[in-house]
Amino acid sequence: MESANQDINLNSPNKGLVSDSLTDVPVQGATGTTVPIGLTEEESDELKNELTKVEDEIVTLRQVLAAKEKTAYELKRKLGLTPLNELKQNFTKGWQDVQTSSAYKKTQETLSQAGQKTSAALTTVGSVITRKFGDMRNSPSFKSFEDRVGTIKSKVIGGRENGDGLQSPTEMNPTQDGAPF
């Protein structure tokens, strides 16, 4: 298989590796002049043949893997499983894993307790403020202020309570029966 014609698959576990990298490496004794120490020429030839077979199997397995990856890609495309969808699924699964972790559960419990304590504290503060406003409303200075506002109100409105005051526009123009508005 020529590396110039080979498609580059970035998802392959062999990315960056040339498929026939081992076949280009010269083997000592390949010329027949030297045999490794402790091996006979026959054993050396046998090992060389075995190495060639293993290298051929590796090339074949890489071709099969590339074909399988291409088939998987086509199947995913037909199913609509885009890389973005896979990423979403991975995030969803990761989030579920986080939520089931003991650290997340402990943090959630701690934050829940803190929220309950904060809520109780705010309720207490609200009660205190309400009580203080009630105390202030019953104070002599607030009563005096309330009386003055009442006096000003009666002067502005005048004798309206007796029917002598101004009428509102709706009182001056009574609505007709059956009118849409």
Q: Read off the pLDDT of residues 13-59 as tens digits, 9 standing for 90 and up.
A: 555 555 545 554 555 545 555 778 888 999 999 999 999 999 999 99
pTM: 0.33
Q: Which residue has the tokens 């019953």?
A: 138
